């Protein structure tokens, strides 16, 4: 089954907050994920840099860390959401504002924008997690309850689905969303990345 880009967020099976993202692509498979200090980015592989002139949506930051908050998305909205959080906007409003203003991608598929945010905390009252989507007929921002996890994809049900996320490190999480557990069912994986909070956020990527 092909569902396009996939992201997941919430708490893993050990109760650690996490985010994870996977590129699945039929049209532009020559991409990789690069890790930086507080972000991860999807970029063309060497020799395919000109692909960005065919589709401007194929390169972007997919993960940003803002203090104790992690942001994940399938496009340039990652940066907008992170900027709003830095300015003090709450997580739900940062998601809703960014997706509402940027809208779905204006490509031949009307590709939805998907995003997730999680504020890491051992205090259930301080912990926050939301997952969202905007497509050509709706915008949705939904809370992921404490202790739970969810995933959403661009061309699947376009609704959050519950998931058991069984990776305990950022390295394993990046591989897990690529082709393990529930995610093994979905076709054409290209590259992936993830971050897990264990006292601090750590990011890793998986490029097969």
- Domains annotated for the chain, with CATH where assigned, are 6-206 (3.60.20.20)
Quote the pLDDT of residue 126: 96
Among 76-80, 154-158, 173-177, 199-203, the range scoring the smallest mean pLDDT is: 154-158
For residue 55, what is the enclosing H or E element?
none
Percent of the chain with pLDDT over 70: 100
Which ranges of 87-157 does DSSP label H, i.e. alpha helix? 91-102
Residue 104 has pLDDT above 90, yes or no: yes
Neighbour count for residue 60 (Cβ, 10 Å): 16
Q: Which helix (H) or strand (E) element contains residue 5?
A: none
Cα angle 37-43-46, degrees, rounded to a multiple of 5: 115
Is the pLDDT reported for residue 94 higher than 90?
Answer: yes
Say if residue 9's pLDDT is above 90.
yes
Render pLDDT for 13-64 as a digit per residue (tens, 0 to 9): 999 999 999 999 988 889 999 999 999 999 999 998 888 888 888 899 999 9
Check if the beta carbon of residue 34 is closer than 8 Å to that of residue 205.
Answer: yes
pLDDT band at 122 (very low <50, low <70, confident <90, very high): confident
Torsion over CA of 143, 35, 38 and 93, rounded to 10 degrees?
-30
How many residues are present in the chain? Answer: 208
How many Cα atoms sit within 13 Å of 102 on the Cβ side? 25
Helix runs in 77-169, H state only: 77-86, 91-102
> In this predicted structure, what is the pLDDT of residue 54?
83
- The pLDDT value recorded for residue 57 is 85
Predicted confidence at residue 38, as pLDDT, reads 97
**pLDDT at position 114:** 98
For residues 82 and 86, give the distance between their C-alpha atoms in angstroms, rounded to a whole number: 6
Residue 124 tokens, joined: 């259930």
Put simply, whether the predicted model's pTM sits higher than 0.75 gets the answer yes
Q: Is the pLDDT score of 153 beyond 90?
A: yes
Whole-number Å distance between alpha carbons of 87 and 95: 13
Above pLDDT 90, what percent of the chain?
89
pLDDT score, position 66: 98
* Unique residue bearing structure tokens 């905390």: 121
Give the model's pLDDT for residue 26.
87
β partners of residue 40: 35, 63
């Amino acid at each position: 089954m092909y569902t396009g880009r996939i992201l997941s967020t919430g708490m893993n099976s050990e109760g650690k907050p996490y985010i994870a993202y996977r590129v699945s692509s039929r049209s532009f498979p020559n991409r990789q994920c690069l890790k930086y200090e507080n972000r991860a980015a999807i970029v063309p592989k060497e020799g395919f840099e000109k692909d960005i002139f065919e589709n401007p949506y194929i390169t972007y930051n997919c993960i940003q860390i803002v203090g104790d908050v992690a942001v994940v998305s399938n496009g340039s909205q990652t940066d907008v959401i992170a900027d709003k959080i830095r300015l003090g906007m709450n997580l739900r409003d940062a998601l809703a504002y960014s997706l509402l203003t940027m809208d779905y991608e204006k490509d031949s598929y009307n590709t939805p924008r998907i995003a997730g945010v999680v504020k890491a905390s051992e205090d259930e009252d301080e912990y926050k997690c939301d997952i969202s989507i905007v497509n050509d007929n709706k915008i949705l921002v939904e809370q992921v309850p404490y202790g739970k996890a969810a995933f959403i994809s661009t061309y699947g049900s376009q609704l959050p689905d519950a998931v058991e996320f069984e990776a305990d490190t950022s390295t394993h999480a990046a591989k897990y969303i690529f082709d393990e557990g529930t995610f093994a069912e979905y076709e054409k994986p290209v590259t992936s990345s993830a971050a897990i909070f264990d006292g601090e956020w750590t990011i890793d990527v998986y490029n097969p």
